[in-house]
Amino acid sequence: MGDKFESSSPMKLTEQNVDLMEELLLKCRMPYQMHHLLVFQVRQLNY
């Protein structure tokens, strides 16, 4: 499962990686607002 991240540059999260991260955060039961903010920030960094 970890190889997906190694194939791309660590500095640039792909859309796929952001989706994976969202999934992981949801599994951790992170408060939704906090999780949404984090994902939003990551998307802002990349686009």
CA distance 9 to 36: 23
Instruction: Give residue 30's pLDDT.
Output: 63
Is this structure's pTM higher than 0.85?
A: no
Residue ranges of the domains in the chain? Answer: 3-46
pLDDT by residue for the chain (47 residues), tens only, comes to: 455 545 555 556 677 888 888 888 778 776 767 777 888 888 887 65
Q: What are phi and psi of 6, to 5 degrees?
A: -70, -30
CA distance 9 to 6: 7
